[in-house]
Structure 1
Amino acid sequence: MNGSPAALMRVNLLEVFNEPDPDRRAAVIAENYAEDVVWHEPDRVNHGRTGFVRRATELLAENPDWVFRPAGPASELDDIGHLGFQWGPSDGRLPMISGMDIARTSDGVIIELYTIITEIRSE
């Protein structure tokens, strides 16, 4: 795919973190992330595509009935992409986690991703 920072942000959210099939998810990661990608989460840092695939799989397994939804459009400035998100049950019930992903890109792939959690709402 290799696209603009905004396009990569949509791929990151919708084609990686909403993809239940591990083979399709790994293929999207291989095409849209640098081999040495670094993903910063609030509680850990993941290194390389292998670590990225592993952590994405873990995250999806933690709440298998949850989905990610964009919170507004993806934006970009130079080589930086941004997309807000909400993550919660597919039926829209609480709990819901809100946050944003910010990525540095180079040559059409994500080289560094930062996930920031801005709000956790519960019933």
Structure 2
Amino acid sequence: MPDAKELLHRNLHEVFAERDPQRRWAAIERTYTEDVVFTDPEGVSRGRQALNDKAQALLDGAAADFVFEEDGPAYLGTDTAALAWRFGPSGSPVARGVDLLTIRDGLVSALQTLLAP
């Protein structure tokens, strides 16, 4: 069973940064519960497919040289974890945020993304 640090890594690098739909879907299945709830400034999405659709839309709207990079340490609790990130050309982010994970039975059951103004 993955620990919180591994789930943070998967969420950022293997799901939201993954441009290959098949590899991303495989990561989604091993990272999130079927009923995962994803909340971001645009609203609430429920389920793995909805989360996949959000990741795909984000990547479709980004230039090919945009990457996700960790922007500080991981914060770990027993059933929660957080990680700051930046997005844009490497070393020149155009967006920054924090992902907050809620973990249930070794999988992410809720993901909340907060964006820096």
Whether TM-score is above 0.5 comes out as: yes
- Tell me how far 1:115 sits from its aligned partner: 0.2
- Tell me how far 1:72 sits from its aligned partner: 1.4
How far apart, in 1, do the equivalents of 2:92 and 2:68 lie?
Answer: 13
Tell me, yes or no, if the aligned pair for 1:38 and 1:47 is still in contact at 8 Å: yes
**Alignment coverage as a number of residue pairs:** 116
Give the TM-score, by structure 1 length.
0.88
Give the TM-score, by structure 2 length.
0.92
- Tell me how far 1:23 sits from its aligned partner: 0.4
For structure 2, the 5+ residue unaligned runs are: none
Aligned match of 2:42: 43
The residue correspondences of 1:17-56 to structure 2 (distance < 5 A) are 17-56=16-55
Aligned match of 1:15: 14
Tell me, yes or no, if the aligned pair for 1:37 and 1:110 is still in contact at 8 Å: yes
Tell me, yes or no, if the aligned pair for 1:7 and 1:74 is still in contact at 8 Å: no
How far apart, in 2, do the equivalents of 1:105 and 1:114 lie?
Answer: 12
Deviation beyond 4 Å, 4+ runs, structure 1:
none
- Tell me how far 1:85 sits from its aligned partner: 0.2
Give the aligned residue type for 1:12: N
Q: What percentage of aligned pairs have identical amino acids? A: 36
Deviates more, 1:3-12 or 1:109-118: 3-12
